[in-house]
Amino acid sequence: MMNNGQRLEVMISRLPEPERWKLLQNAIDSRVELDDRTVCSLDSRMQGLLFLQDHITNRKARIEFARSKKHMPYLREAAGSRNVWMTDREFSELVEQNDSETLACFARSEQMRPHHLLYIEYKLAVDPHREASLATAYDAMIAAKKSIEARGTTGEVALIRLAKAALEGSADVETLIYSRAPGAVSVSNGDPRGLWHAYMNLRRLDRKTLVGLLNDVGTSTTGPVMTSRFSPRAVH
């Protein structure tokens, strides 16, 4: 038996365009829950209309749409700036895509995990895009602050701040990392992805090493790495 979303998909595929739009608007007004397959079966404009609605979740469909450069930038951001979060594995795919415009599409989503927003802020500061309608590094910074306020400072936030401090030449941090985890942070040669790679390397360390490293950093620096205290419980 088909659910409401599947029935809508069949009906839309068979109707002329004016009726398709009317049916879609009725679905929006009645808050019909659509599965990702149904949403992805719609054309770009119809998906864009859906993604402008705050009650439309469909996280995976939103991510797929926002990542595709075939869609208009403001619709990509409509998809990526609402109801979107990612695992580190999903975000790693986005990082390796290495496209500032695509990352900017997610920069205003306060549901994104704080360390992902901090990476987006860093990427957009180092390698800004030229699309006026998309978020900037400043927008990502604001979203990151709001996300941290809502969630608290996580272990992931502490680690990406640690990686950033090492990459930006903090001698104390660099020395501590080298002594406890040699090779975890390497020279990025200006590639912003070096920050994410360093974070992932630190993340793979065992809990004892991580806790010791972060505690040592906390006692050796008053800089931005430890602006909020790290809780060992947040690691792994």
Select from 44, 45, 46 the least CA-distant residue to 8: 46
Q: Where are the domains of the chain?
A: 1-80, 85-152, 155-234
pLDDT at 232 over 70: no
43-84 pLDDT, tens digit each? 899 999 999 999 999 999 999 999 999 999 999 999 999 999
Mean pLDDT across 152-178? 79
Could you tell me which residue, 187 or 19, shows the higher pLDDT? 19
114-124 pLDDT, tens digit each? 999 999 999 99
State the Cα–Cα distance between residues 22 and 94, nearest whole angstrom: 35
Could you say which DSSP state residue 226 is in?
Answer: G
Task: Look at residue 155 in the predicted model and tell me its pLDDT.
Answer: 85
State the Cα–Cα distance between residues 55 and 52, nearest whole angstrom: 9
Task: Look at residue 226 in the predicted model and tell me its pLDDT.
Answer: 42
Q: How many whole angstroms from its chain centre is CA 167?
A: 21
181-225 pLDDT, tens digit each? 666 677 667 789 999 998 998 888 888 878 877 777 765 544 444
- pTM, two decimals, is 0.83
